[in-house]
Structure 1
């Protein structure tokens, strides 16, 4: 599919689309299932006041929860996937709204769950486990609720917070509509005067062009438009931060960070340790910037020079078929069980491959119970091959957890979400380096590996620091205006990139195009996940079958233990600074390899 041609959804071949019909055969079937799902509400309400009656009553409630979870899973995935196929389609926007409303109604109906679980005396609960052995299957669910006793409110207050859920989701929804559906960008003109369309999907490929005129034009095109909407973007992000603070305060957490991480059983110290460890490792980053400036031969290194490969004369392009073949070879160290699932995903409609008009930007994996769904906007670059193995890492993590764990423990927490994806990327890089003898191509690949470190370990930590500081500003009652956000973001760029980088004025607006700032302290996990993935991939390549077995156990773990424990089982301790320090040392070593090849 040609990069410069963006087709309408109806013109995308069926084999390049995901199999949405595996969820529901039609919109009408979805609507019928939605109507049936509303019947869960009186069934849930009927359990109110009864959880402390007996082990059997408590077991019946948790089994009903499982039933609701499975039914809702299909409903939400169908609506969201259809909406993402074309974000301009009002019918699917409305379906997402309907399923969001249902979620709020279900949460409101079940608001009694936590207070009633907390009200059961320890000795009574112990008797329930003895009298109803099957209840032990939900013991971890119950323990997790009771662990957060200090942050749970009364029955009526919980119902009120649940009812506010739809309103709380508004900033993210508004941002998505602005960013994905409403914003359009003028064409970028290259050095020969040829125009190129600028979209969310084409921006990074344009930034990777060897034509500096085109890179700068695309950079100016994108940020000029964001500049026009800077106040809207700032007000939307400010609303997001205020709703997070509202819920953190309501639940008696000292900060939004404590509130966000408590849900995933991650100590806040891990967040701060990440930022501190990366701050101690700015020297390799500054060395990288200086090397990039030297290799590109420019008097000034600008932000639009960050993505172009520093190795000239190499432009690696791949068809989607070639990308799938490379993925299979690169992930072979994970064993035949893993490869069989990978091939099933490739062959049975898990993936929506190419960009189309109105399609959601970027890439993701959504772990539906029927099978995962992977959204790509494949352009044929080396980055796109990495994105494919990255998202299939998520997908296979979801597939194995869904297949292995009971319904209550299938969803893994976000702290471990990026580990499987980035482990796949690390294995892909090791494979590509192992089969590449050409000196220039090796340098090109090492450049790509260095970019992963820059983009994941350093950049995502900078995002995490920005998010933390904006939340702190909100908590202190300071204005999070466009000017304040831009000043903060520019200062962080200066700190992270060092003296050899020109921090262009436009980059101060980059925060306005990052959807992850609406994900409530998500981005830091890209960095911690990357450090864990580097450690795991090296163990797999070094030790073989025993390490693979441990790793598959981790992928099959869902949320059957806290994330730090699950990762320890796979052989990495994220409570220690060592994985981050080891990763930054590897980054420094790769810089040495790059210098040896090219200088």
Structure 2
């Protein structure tokens, strides 16, 4: 494995075109200055909303324009930082936009309380009088829906100004996880010592050499274990912050507060966990099959990522990955494929790992410009699906931005993973269906089952961990490394069953999950995956209106509630059916893999 390159050594064509956001640093700085002026001016509407509908309209227009400009400078500064987290100039620029965000939040903190202070009959009169206010009807309705959780003007201002302090635990963890933590190197299959990085961890864990996997697993978690008390303090601080805001806003729990923004009932969260608990046996059955096929006396946690079908060579160049993704997403139509190609050709994507680059993958962007995708491509099959996944996010954003005004273009977290996982579901089914080699088919089914394990089961386990730990803090309890490790280890045993050895190191896994610093986010991977299985099944079955309904969903942004938007695509997440159906698909494919592997791996 080659030495990790420095940022300046990466080919331009392999990097994202940040110049499409800002052609020069000077233009970025000018917009930061313009934004600072808008922030300073925004309080001019304070106390004036009763003057007439024109003042309300002007305030909402300025609010929208200010936030749109902030999004552009914030995205640019942070994406530039993410391509090299060790760059001091980029750190400074990103920090300056954080300051602008806090100032903006403080400057607009009076807005919602003043809108809520308008008599509803006067607001209705304003909307009749000024037709241009109709654009903001849902925005205003949402404000009134959350009236019980909106504080007086002074309290809102204080909460807004405390925003910079509230981000401390997340910011510290991000810098620690991306720039500071180091791990002992790994000796690869050929006996060569190689660096262990966040980006290379998954590739090592898929190695056919069990010693490499065991060493990688031990070295990574020993790295985190050395900071367990610090990381526990960060986790608890973040949970306390979440509880504080929930209590201040008159919610019954941190979970209720987190879900309310997307209009999701707590029952949906609890139903997900209950449904998965009711389908643990297929997971245990899958682990028993893995243990049998790998031929090990004990199945350890470092054995659960390696493909069960070893001989299939699925190393994929990025050029080939783009072709595979386009082929797999053909059911979405020629226009969708043309948009994929535009993204590939126009440098929407930052492709390869480099020194100090942010780990993982994401799609992001600013309204008015094309979306961007960050990857750390390592030529594995998983990376191919990551490409399809992140381009699903990107084209969801593209459709929403094209159809919606800025105020409704951003979609809510609950639906954020649907388009991305729908792409993955379409791609894997295409590959399984078109495989003519039994061994390759077994490999792909194994991969599909891994998506269920890691997305539906594992993310639900994460969600249950968050529920348990945040409830402790909500009730006035405390969290430390021992408590967090104990809770996590018990859950790992529950979700993997007695046929898997829950190694001591796995108790530290909670300490390396970035999404935990965005409380109660991860459950939506599981619900989104379930919705994606349902939508992709409808599209592949050629159900009447399935494709049209799906594109209406993609265009919806936040113009409707997430539950209503998914109903456009024919999926009702208010019920148990999508999750239950997805778990049944998992069980079905476990059976298919058992059948293919029944004669032994070498006889496939």
Q: TM-score range by the shorter chain?
A: over 0.9
What is the match of residue 31 of structure 1?
29
474-483 or 102-111, larger mean C-alpha shift: 474-483
Q: Give the Cα separation in 1 of the matches to 2:255 and 2:567.
A: 23
Contact 1:314 1:440 in 2 (8 A): yes
Once the two structures are TM-superposed, the CA of residue 546 in structure 1 deviates from its matched residue by 2.4
Does residue 1:144 correspond to 2:130, yes or no?
Answer: no
Q: Give the Cα separation in 1 of the matches to 2:27 and 2:64.
A: 21
Q: Give the Cα separation in 2 of the matches to 1:270 and 1:55.
A: 39
Q: Give the Cα separation in 2 of the matches to 1:481 and 1:418.
A: 31
Q: Helix, strand or coil: the match of 2:541?
A: helix
What is the match of residue 220 of structure 2?
222
Q: Residues 553-568 of structure 1: matches in 2 within 5 Å?
A: 553-568=552-567
Q: Helix, strand or coil: the match of 1:374?
A: strand
Once the two structures are TM-superposed, the CA of residue 368 in structure 1 deviates from its matched residue by 2.0
Q: TM-score, normalised by structure 2?
A: 0.98
What is the match of residue 187 of structure 1?
185
Does residue 1:295 correspond to 2:269, yes or no?
Answer: no
What is the match of residue 450 of structure 2?
451
Once the two structures are TM-superposed, the CA of residue 505 in structure 1 deviates from its matched residue by 0.3
What is the match of residue 117 of structure 2?
119
What CA deviation, in whole Å up to 9, does each residue of 1:555-588 have, x standing for no partner?
A: 0100000000000011000001011000010100
Q: Give the Cα separation in 1 of the matches to 2:194 and 2:77.
A: 32
Q: Give the Cα separation in 2 of the matches to 1:52 and 1:310.
A: 68
Does residue 1:462 correspond to 2:453, yes or no?
Answer: no
Q: Note the residue ranges of structure 1 that are not aligned, 5 or more in a row.
A: none
Does residue 1:89 correspond to 2:74, yes or no?
Answer: no
Does residue 1:56 correspond to 2:54, yes or no?
Answer: yes
Q: Give the Cα separation in 2 of the matches to 1:477 and 1:366.
A: 37
Contact 2:39 2:66 in 1 (8 A): no
What is the match of residue 588 of structure 1?
587
Q: Give the Cα separation in 1 of the matches to 2:364 and 2:568.
A: 25
What CA deviation, in whole Å up to 9, does each residue of 1:450-490 have, x standing for no partner?
A: 00000000000000000111111111222210111000000
What is the match of residue 350 of structure 1?
348
Q: Give the Cα separation in 1 of the matches to 2:248 and 2:406.
A: 30
Q: Residues 175-254 of structure 1: matches in 2 within 5 Å?
A: 175-190=173-188, 192-254=190-252
Once the two structures are TM-superposed, the CA of residue 192 in structure 1 deviates from its matched residue by 4.5
Q: Give the Cα separation in 1 of the matches to 2:286 and 2:178.
A: 33
What CA deviation, in whole Å up to 9, does each residue of 1:357-380 have, x standing for no partner?
A: 000000000032211110000010
Q: Note the residue ranges of structure 2 that are not aligned, 5 or more in a row.
A: 599-604
Q: Helix, strand or coil: the match of 1:365?
A: strand
Q: Helix, strand or coil: the match of 1:596?
A: helix
What is the match of residue 542 of structure 1?
541
Does residue 1:481 correspond to 2:480, yes or no?
Answer: yes
What is the match of residue 440 of structure 1?
439
Q: Extract structure 1 runs of 4+ deviating beyond 4 A.
A: none
Q: Give the Cα separation in 2 of the matches to 1:487 and 1:235.
A: 15
Q: Give the Cα separation in 2 of the matches to 1:175 and 1:48.
A: 37
Q: Give the Cα separation in 2 of the matches to 1:448 and 1:102.
A: 44
Q: TM-score, normalised by structure 1?
A: 0.98
Q: Give the Cα separation in 2 of the matches to 1:53 and 1:421.
A: 46
CA-based RMSD? 1.0
186-195 or 142-151, larger mean C-alpha shift: 186-195
Q: 1:135 aligns with which of 126, 133, 136?
A: 133
Q: Give the Cα separation in 2 of the matches to 1:51 and 1:291.
A: 66
Q: Give the Cα separation in 2 of the matches to 1:68 and 1:548.
A: 36
Contact 2:72 2:366 in 1 (8 A): yes
Q: 2:314 aligns with which of 307, 311, 316?
A: 316
Once the two structures are TM-superposed, the CA of residue 191 in structure 1 deviates from its matched residue by 5.1
Q: Helix, strand or coil: the match of 1:543?
A: coil
What is the match of residue 410 of structure 1?
409
204-213 or 39-48, larger mean C-alpha shift: 39-48
Q: Give the Cα separation in 1 of the matches to 2:265 and 2:425.
A: 26
Does residue 1:598 correspond to 2:597, yes or no?
Answer: yes
What is the match of residue 602 of structure 2?
none
Q: 2:71 aligns with which of 73, 84, 87?
A: 73
Q: Give the Cα separation in 2 of the matches to 1:52 and 1:397.
A: 39
Q: Give the Cα separation in 2 of the matches to 1:549 and 1:119.
A: 41
Does residue 1:525 correspond to 2:524, yes or no?
Answer: yes
Q: Give the Cα separation in 1 of the matches to 2:359 and 2:258.
A: 26
Once the two structures are TM-superposed, the CA of residue 209 in structure 1 deviates from its matched residue by 0.4
Matched length: 597
What is the match of residue 601 of structure 2?
none
Q: Helix, strand or coil: the match of 1:555?
A: helix
Once the two structures are TM-superposed, the CA of residue 37 in structure 1 deviates from its matched residue by 0.7
Contact 2:328 2:431 in 1 (8 A): yes
Q: Give the Cα separation in 2 of the matches to 1:453 and 1:516.
A: 19
Q: Give the Cα separation in 1 of the matches to 2:511 and 2:10.
A: 30
40-49 or 574-583, larger mean C-alpha shift: 40-49
Once the two structures are TM-superposed, the CA of residue 53 in structure 1 deviates from its matched residue by 2.5
What CA deviation, in whole Å up to 9, does each residue of 1:413-434 have, x standing for no partner?
A: 0000000000000000011112
191-200 or 426-435, larger mean C-alpha shift: 191-200
